[in-house]
């Protein structure tokens, strides 16, 4: 046994290779769930609308710091694409 170079590293690599499929099988359902959820978000019209509204308010807020929220909502509803 002492004549085999790097025996401990080799045995560790073999053990890892054999257990890899089991470990991957435990992780794959979670990866698939995250992938499906992100695909649903990408295709969701409501999520896109929420992002659009938040971006609008962020831009408006930077331009006019002292304007109150009701004026911002009014501007968005009557001067943008939500009608």
63: containing domain: 44-83
Report the sign of the C-alpha dihedral through residues 30, 33, 39, 44, in that order: negative
As a whole number, mean pLDDT of residues 25-52 equals: 89
Based on the fold, state whether residues 35 and 9 are members of the same structural domain. yes
| Top-confidence residue, 3 or 23 | 23
Q: Are residues 2 and 24 in the same domain?
A: yes
Give the Cα separation of 16 and 26 in Å (integer): 15
Both tokens assigned to 38? 């992100």
Whether residues 36 and 50 fall in one domain: no
d(CA 82, CA 50): 11
Same domain, 65 and 83: yes
Whether residue 37 sits in one domain with residue 5 = yes
For 2, the token pair is 């002492």
Q: Is 32's pLDDT higher than 90?
A: yes
Q: What is the mean pLDDT of the chain?
A: 80
Binned at pLDDT 50, 70 and 90, residue 49 comes out as confident
Same domain, 25 and 14: yes
Same-domain pairing of 48 and 81: yes
pTM, rounded to two decimals: 0.46
Count of the separate structural domains present in the chain: 2
């Amino acid at each position: 046994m002492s004549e085999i170079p790097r025996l401990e590293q080799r045995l560790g690599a073999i053990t890892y290779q054999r257990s890899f499929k089991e470990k991957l099988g435990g992780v794959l359902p979670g990866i698939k769930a995250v992938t499906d959820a992100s695909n649903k978000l990408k295709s969701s019209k409501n999520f896109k609308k929420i992002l659009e509204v938040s971006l609008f308010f962020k831009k408006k807020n930077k331009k006019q710091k002292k304007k109150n929220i009701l004026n911002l909502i009014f501007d968005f509803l009557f001067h943008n694409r939500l009608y």
